Chains A and B, each alone.
Chain A
Amino acid sequence: MNKWIWALIVIIIVGLGWWAIGFSGNSAQSGTGPIKIGSVLPLTGDAASIGTIDRAAVEIAVAEINAAGGVNGRQLEMIYEDGQCASTAASNAANKLMNADNVIAIIGGLCSTETATFAPAAMQKKVVVISPASSAPNLSQTGKYFFRDYPSDAFQGKFAAEYAYNTLGARKVAVIYHISDWGTGIKNVFETRFKELGGEIVSESGEPQTATDYRTDLTKAKAANPDYIYTPMYPQGDTALMKQASELGIKAKILGADGWDDPQLAKDAKNLGLDILYTTGKTGTTDAFKQKLQQKTKSPDVPVGAPQAYDAVYILANAMKSAGTDPDKLADTIRATKYDGVSGHIEFDQNGDLTVADYVVKRMANGTATVVQ
């Protein structure tokens, strides 16, 4: 009988705790004091190697803005929560930010999984969401308060297919991709478009993001004798893939996606003597930002989402300077933004997507990547 009473007491205490949090949260966001913004990124789990660096990018932006006086004299308070690149975690994280911390806006998620999970609730609650890396095409239909400064897969896959067919003259392509909302998304669009144009997908093989053994995928691709191997993959996988491709003596050339836009990869490619092309956003990341990021994280990686996250914070801060914290005014102001950031020129269309999803193709040669087109 004792235990039951204990348990009841614990539940009541926890319940009261929630109640208290619920009330304390509501008092925030008055006219003065710091402005609370939330961030949902994968800080642990499979995508953590990207999420932790993107978080650093956000931290840099927030620190810079606050050092320059904040937004209309108010400091930015960024509250970070872990989305773990998984639905349940992202939902809990976003809920805490929106309902307990009462954030004005959320920078995140990284994975489309995260964003797709909490964005609908954010729209209902009128919380502005700017995602720095979620690329699933259907996010375009999310809602009025949703923006992303990273283009939908629908664009990159199509661009790559057309470039491969028309410019590179490829007719047979083997595909090796990472199974994730981003990789699978691009792969689907690429294959559809490439086949539409008349090309043939001679082999297709997917691996999880954390996989390190691509030998059989490569062997399979090699055996199908493709003109090109299309590889929408993340940087770590790219490193392993390159290494193994060169070990296996793959002669076919590689066409990657923007996951290949990483300075370390260019250096590694030089050592391996591989010919690699990849598609990426038109104006790539500025060197100054890359250095800032590398200094802070002590890591050479500049993954997808980092420059975009940095820009997202600035776009939000700038919009708040004129529109304040009212969600509707904020959304309208952001939509009207024209911003030149470290990830390129940013303008939004009525869905919150980038209007300029211009891509270029870069070639990795001599330790750096240079634009080809």
Chain B
Amino acid sequence: MDYAVHILTMIAITGIAAVSLNLLIGETGLVSVAQAAFAGIGAYGMTLLMLHAGIPFLAAALFSALIAGAIALIIGAIFLSLREVYYVFGTVGLNMIVWAILLNWDSLTRGPLGIPGITRPEVLGISFADNTAFLILCAVVLLAVFAAHYAIMKSNFGRVLHAVREDEEAIAVLGYKTEVYKIVIFVISAALVAFSGSLYATYLSYINPSAFTVNDSIFILAIVILGGLGSAYGAIVGTCMLVGAFEALRFIGFPASIAGDMRQVFYGLILILFMLYLPRGLFGKFRI
């Protein structure tokens, strides 16, 4: 049971990141491979605020999400001119640079030694030190993010995003400032995934740059592709499958020495096969 609780918690946290990425890729067509970087900014921001400034979890997490959003604002503006594949490369570069900073700015982040001792949150008097309680917290946040996604997409704002997806030039001609929309959704997405980073940090009680690499961003990308573009539900299902099924692989009997590589084989296959035969993913409304 404990194991199930753990896996579900990881699914919830990763699910938040996946839903936030869907806002970018699925709804707006911005293929970003930098979610892990913003998760890292959220995680480290929250941790430093909590440990050095004594700020309680919720405030620290919200504040670090704001910081991530601010950084996304600047980056989003800088990356406006990048299109398609170049945008992808730009985000890869962003992730690499953020990761390098987390790794090498010793004095702030302790580099590869990471930051231990992150306590579980106490929100509104309730302590979440118990794993099951924490899972419920994560599930609640996931639900909130899901609701936010739904709200955004049902609104006018969401409709413009879809239009940007389909034909950016057309909608720009109609007078919509597409740059603003793209930056705003980038900021929102970054803030959401940053919050998931804070949850991650407080769950494991220890953070380390190894959790925020380009490979982690690619993993979330694979989830969104699997789940389907344009569907938050798909993102969550995709998360369940990739995280849950991969864990299940442990029990199938692959020797542990290649299990890690077998997972990579599967997930490489997913990327290839889905692009070839199921570009819409499982529940997607759009294809890349």
Contact = CB atoms under 8 A, between A and B. Distances in A.
Given A7-B282, A17-B248, A136 B104 contact: no
A87 B247 contact: no
B245 A87 contact: no
Interface in A174-202: 179-181, 183-185, 188
Nearest to A22: B1
A95 B282 CA distance: 29
Interface size class of B (residues with CB under 8 A): 35 or more
Interface size class of A (residues with CB under 8 A): 35 or more
- Tell me if B's interface is mostly helix, strand, loop or mixed: helix
A99 interface: yes
Given A43-B256, A44-B260, A87 B113 contact: no
B252 to A, nearest CB: 11
Contacts of A183: 112
Interface in A54-112: 55, 79-82, 84-89, 91-92, 95-96, 98-100, 112
B112 A179 contact: yes
B237 interface: yes
A116 B3 contact: no
Nearest to A182: B112
Nearest to A23: B1
B257 A82 contact: yes
B260 A184 contact: no
Interface in A1-22: 3-4, 7, 10-11, 14-15, 17-19, 21-22
B279 interface: no
B159 interface: no
- Tell me if A's interface is mostly helix, strand, loop or mixed: helix
Contact of B247 (A84, A96, A188): A96
A85 B258 CA distance: 15
A86 to B, nearest CB: 4
A44 B248 CA distance: 18
A52 to B, nearest CB: 6
B112 A117 contact: no
Contact of A3 (B210, B240, B264, B282): B282
Interface string B263-279: 01000000000000000
A180 B251 CA distance: 31
B241 interface: yes
Contacts of B133: none
B206 to A, nearest CB: 5
B249 to A, nearest CB: 11
Interface in A276-320: none
B165 interface: no
A206 interface: yes
Contacts of B216: 88
B114 A99 contact: no
B195 interface: no
Interface of A: 3-4, 7, 10-11, 14-15, 17-19, 21-23, 25-26, 43-45, 52, 55, 79-82, 84-89, 91-92, 95-96, 98-100, 112-113, 116-117, 120, 125, 136, 138, 179-181, 183-185, 188, 206
Given A84-B260, A92-B247, A136-B113, 16 more contacts: A11-B237, A18-B4, A22-B1, A26-B1, A86-B208, A87-B204, A87-B210, A88-B10, A95-B2, A95-B7, A99-B1, A99-B6, A117-B208, A120-B206, A138-B113, A181-B113
Enumerate the 6 nearest inter-chain pairs by beta-carbon distance, A residue then B residue, closest first. Answer: A44-B260, A99-B3, A99-B2, A80-B256, A18-B4, A86-B210
Interface of B: 1-4, 6-7, 10, 103-104, 106, 111-114, 116-117, 204-208, 210-211, 213, 216, 233, 237, 240-241, 244-245, 247-248, 250-251, 255-261, 264, 282-283
19 contacts: A10-B241, A18-B3, A19-B1, A21-B3, A21-B251, A22-B2, A44-B258, A85-B210, A87-B204, A88-B211, A98-B2, A99-B1, A113-B210, A120-B116, A120-B205, A120-B206, A136-B113, A181-B112, A184-B113
